[in-house]
Amino acid sequence: MPEIRFDGLTASFAGKQVVGPLSLHIRDGEHVALVGKSGAGKSTLIRLMYQHAEQQASLIPQDLGLVNALPVFHNVFMGQLHEHSLWYNTWTLLRPFKTDRKAIAALLGQLGMEEKQWTPAASLSGGQRQRVAIGRALYRQAPLLLADEPISALDGLLAHQVMEHLVEQFPTSVVALHDVDMALKYCDRIVGIKDGLVALDAPAAELTPADIMTLY
């Protein structure tokens, strides 16, 4: 995994500073939760990490980044576009190879989406769309997961199942979460962002929900 180390990082949007200056080091093997209220700078930080990690990260953006006109299969397949030649990817649009069909069907089965494989993304519910974006990230098979609220549209049991699957499949992860209990349960380090700055950085085992709620 590429090391993610920011020292004195700043970022601006529309002339306004939205992140930093902050310093943050993500170590290999960590599962880090980014917590804080909406607008704190978590999404910007996730995007900056993705730009830094380049091809070695799987991204689940908050807007999901799905192609509505394409079926679920092709949206998941996009996770490995970089692994294949142009002719292979073009042919897959017309007549997917058996190996890819089998692999993606198995992955969708793990996410409870197997019956939606050929359904256009535009026809899916919010929770289903979120699972497609998760499937795309899993199919990419990168060592690092960067995810921005990946379970916000999932109900309790399914959200737990998906988070457990993500931390099992990715050796290292940075996940922005609003759900404090989920952050404490599935991540080993909590980084709190407030007004674009690191306001909290501690092992999850040393924190309680009350410690984190001061950020909101």
Gap between the Cα atoms of 128 and 169, Å rounded: 20
**Predicted confidence band of residue 39 (pLDDT cuts 50, 70, 90):** confident
Nearest CA-CA partner of 130 in 155, 157, 101, 152: 152
- For every residue of 48-88, DSSP letters joined together read HHHHHHGGGEEEE-TT----TTSBHHHHHHGGGGGGS-HHH
- The predicted structure's pLDDT at residue 155: 87
Q: Residue 173: how many CA atoms within 13 Å on its side-chain side?
A: 28
> Ramachandran region of residue 72, left (φ > 0), alpha (ψ -120 to 50) or beta?
alpha
Model confidence over 132-191: pLDDT tens digits?
999 999 999 999 999 999 999 998 899 999 999 999 999 999 999 999 999 999 999 999
Does residue 124 carry a pLDDT above 90? yes
Q: Beta strand 172-176 with 16-26: parallel, antiparallel or unpaired?
A: unpaired
Q: In a 3-state reduction of DSSP, which class is residue 7?
A: strand
**Predicted confidence band of residue 8 (pLDDT cuts 50, 70, 90):** very high
Gap between the Cα atoms of 41 and 45, Å rounded: 6
Nearest CA-CA partner of 73 in 34, 101, 43: 101
Nearest CA-CA partner of 197 in 16, 45, 15: 45
* pLDDT over 70 percentage in the chain: 99
Does residue 33 carry a pLDDT above 70? yes
Model confidence over 82-101: pLDDT tens digits?
888 898 888 888 899 999 99
Give 4-213's CATH code, choosing from 3.20.20.80, 3.30.70.640, 3.40.50.150, 3.40.50.300.
3.40.50.300
Output the six-digit token pair for 173.
Answer: 């992860």
* pLDDT over 90 percentage in the chain: 78
**Predicted confidence band of residue 2 (pLDDT cuts 50, 70, 90):** low
Report pTM: 0.91
